[in-house]
């Protein structure tokens, strides 16, 4: 049989994905009869738009292997989408389709011998992917008071460019913080990245979830050096469909070609029925636009309620502008938490789960130091279809929307409040 020493040491050193691990644990606890509120895995709560589901049914018979780079009609639909939404000069040849943006982000690191530059905090899988491939990772620390943004000064202070490629991976709106960049901030970063010869991978998977609906892409300011990463999982509610897209400028076509080679020797092509259905998702339609508008309304209502509720009990966080995440600081309660033996964000999350049934992830999973008492909450444990229907009918009261249509999220805030109050009392007794 296979001995431990025969396994890849880079993989052995890693744990399973934190987000998937917490989801599986939450489901197991629910099966065991526990009352669990799942704020761990960031899966869209909204149903896939009906028009896209119908398209999938229509093309369910499609069984052929499609071109490695993706169905030509889909690549054109994606190009048209970015031209329409962002006014970017993109053609079908710029687009590469893959089985989820996560796979494409891994493959681009496989294709290039590159240092990966990340903000801290950042999404849980960026670093493990780099480590599996033996790539160097450099963290740029960010702060809640600055909306968790990488600053141009931080890029200026990096060593001068050498022979090695450098990728700056920017995710905005951000998982885990919900923060983003305005056009002026993007332009300032682009100016420095150009001078430093840094290639930017713009992970814009949450772009369409920006509450005000005005997402702006880095590619508009640094077109020759920006690779856009996107897909269907977040804004189309289709995480399990596994369809991602990357858009490359002409100057970086060699990277795209290398990734196509990798695809030809690994996943071959993305599921044919899914690709045909994705053509509908990326095409202009009043139904998709209305779906996006209503889902943003729901997310904005929830975000506002949860921010207000958690701040009212003394917790701190930056105001999210998109996505479905809060990155919450428990630092105000450090003394009383330490009195309970909770010194790390991991211990904090484990205790929250055991005491309250609320499943969240520690800041240490996202690149913060273990003793920084931050947790990520994914406010997704609600019936997205019912919430969308309530917004569509227009008869809801914003002040009680979460309590009526997202009761588990309302309950989560109440349990956290009670837990903090009770822990304070326990420490005094």
Confidence of residue 29 (pLDDT cuts 50, 70, 90): confident
The percent of residues in the chain predicted with pLDDT above 70, rounded, is: 94
Flag whether pLDDT at 19 surpasses 70.
Answer: no
Question: Are 145 and 86 in the same domain?
Answer: yes
Read off the DSSP letter of residue 161.
P
Q: Are 128 and 83 in the same domain?
A: yes
Q: What is the DSSP letter of 64?
A: S
**Do 274 and 174 share a structural domain?**
yes
Q: Can you give the CATH number for the domain in which 250 is found?
A: 3.40.640.10
Q: Is the per-residue pLDDT at 425 higher than 90?
A: no
Does 81 share its domain with 149?
Answer: yes
- Residue 18 confidence class, pLDDT cut points 50, 70, 90: low
Q: How confident is the model at residue 24 (pLDDT cuts 50, 70, 90)?
A: confident
Q: Span 108-115, mean pLDDT?
A: 96
Q: Are residues 420 and 341 both part of a single domain?
A: yes
Q: Return the pLDDT at 241.
A: 96
Domain ranges, residue 267: 50-283
CATH of the domain at 37: 3.90.1150.10
C-alpha span between 151 and 141 (Å, rounded): 10
pLDDT at 3: 65
Q: What's phi and psi for 243, nearest 5 deg?
A: -135, 120
In whole angstroms, what is the distance from residue 281 CA to residue 351 CA? 41
Q: Are 79 and 95 in contact (CB under 8 A)?
A: yes
Strands 37-38 and 226-231: unpaired
Query: Same domain for 297 and 360?
Result: yes
**Residues 218 and 264 reside in one and the same domain:** yes
CA atoms within 13 A on the CB side of 395: 3
Which of 283, 305, 327 is a domain's end point? 283
* Gyration radius from the chain CA atoms: 22
What is the distance, to the nearest Å, from the Cα of residue 399 to the centroid of all Cα atoms in its chain? 28
Residue 394 φ then ψ, to 5°? 70, 15
Q: How far apart are CA 241 and CA 268, in angstroms?
A: 16
Rounded-to-integer distance, Cα 349 and Cα 330, Å: 11
Q: If pLDDT is split at 50, 70 and 90, which confidence band does 203 have?
A: very high
Which of 37-41, 119-123, 220-224, 408-412 is predicted with the least confidence, judged by mean pLDDT?
37-41
Percent of the chain past pLDDT 90, that is, above it, reads 86
| Domains identified in the chain, total number | 2
Pair (29, 57) in one structural domain: no
Determine the pLDDT at residue 6. Answer: 62
Residue 343 burial by Cβ neighbours in a 10 Å radius (0-12, 13-18, 19+) = middle
Which residues, including other chains, have CB under 8 Å from residue 186's CB and lie 6 or more apart? 216, 217, 218, 220, 221
Confidence of residue 14 (pLDDT cuts 50, 70, 90): low
Closest CA to 68 of 104, 106, 102, 113: 104
Residues 234 and 310 in one domain: no
- Residue among 206, 376, 370, 227 nearest 299 (CA): 206
| Residue 316 and residue 211 share a domain | no
Same domain, residue pair 63 and 39: no
Q: Which of 222, 252, 283 is the last residue of a domain?
A: 283
Alpha helices in 8-151 (DSSP H): 9-12, 18-31, 50-58, 72-86, 101-111, 126-132
Checking if the pLDDT of 17 tops 90, the result is no
Q: Indicate if the pLDDT at residue 16 is higher than 70.
A: no
* pLDDT recorded at residue 26: 80
Write down which residue in 223, 250, 283 finishes a domain: 283
> What contacts 216, CB < 8 A, 6 or more positions away?
86, 181, 182, 183, 186
One domain for residues 232 and 245: yes
Mean pLDDT is lowest, of 12-21, 122-131, 369-378, for 12-21
């Amino acid at each position: 049989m296979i001995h431990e020493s025969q396994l890849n040491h880079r993989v052995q050193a890693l744990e399973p994905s934190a987000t998937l691990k917490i989801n599986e644990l939450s489901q197991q606890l629910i099966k065991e009869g526990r009352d669990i509120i799942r704020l761990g895995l960031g899966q869209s709560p909204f149903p896939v738009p009906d028009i896209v589901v119908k398209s999938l049914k229509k093309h369910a018979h499609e069984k052929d292997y499609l071109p490695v780079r993706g169905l030509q009609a889909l690549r054109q639909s994606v190009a048209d989408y970015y031209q329409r939404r962002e006014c970017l000069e993109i053609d079908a040849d710029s687009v590469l389709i893959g089985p989820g943006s996560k796979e494409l982000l891994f493959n681009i690191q496989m294709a290039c011998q590159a240092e990966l530059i990340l903000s801290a905090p950042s999404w849980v899988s960026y670093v493990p992917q780099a480590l599996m491939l033996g790539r160097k990772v450099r963290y740029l620390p960010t702060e809640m008071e600055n909306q968790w943004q990488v600053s141009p000064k931080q890029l200026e202070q990096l060593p001068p460019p050498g022979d090695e490629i450098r990728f700056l991976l920017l995710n905005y709106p951000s998982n885990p913080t919900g923060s983003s960049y305005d056009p002026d901030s993007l332009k300032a970063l682009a100016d420095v990245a150009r001078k430093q010869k840094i290639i930017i991978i713009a992970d814009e998977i949450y772009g369409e979830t920006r509450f005000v609906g005005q997402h702006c892409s880095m590619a508009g300011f640094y077109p020759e050096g920006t690779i856009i990463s996107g897909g269907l999982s977040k804004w189309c509610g289709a995480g399990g469909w596994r369809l991602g897209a990357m858009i490359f400028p002409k100057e970086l076509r060699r990277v795209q070609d290398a990734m196509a080679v990798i695809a030809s020797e690994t996943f071959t092509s993305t599921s044919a029925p899914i690709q045909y259905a994705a053509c509908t998702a990326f095409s202009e339609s009043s139904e998709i636009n209305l779906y996006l508008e209503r889902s943003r309304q729901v997310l904005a209502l929830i975000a506002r309620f949860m921010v207000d509720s958690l701040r009212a009990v003394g917790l701190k966080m930056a105001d999210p502008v998109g996505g479905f995440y809060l990155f919450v600081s428990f630092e105000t309660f450090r003394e009383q938490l330490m009195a309970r033996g909770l010194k790390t964000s991991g211990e904090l999350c484990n205790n929250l789960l055991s005491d309250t049934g609320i499943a969240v992830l520690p800041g240490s999973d996202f690149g913060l130091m273990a003793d920084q008492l931050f947790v990520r909450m994914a406010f997704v444990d609600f019936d997205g279809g019912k919430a969308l229907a309530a917004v569509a009918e227009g008869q809801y009261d914003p002040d009680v929307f979460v309590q009526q249509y997202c009761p588990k999220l309302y309950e989560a805030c109440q349990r956290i409040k009670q837990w903090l109050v009770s822990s304070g009392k326990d420490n005094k007794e």
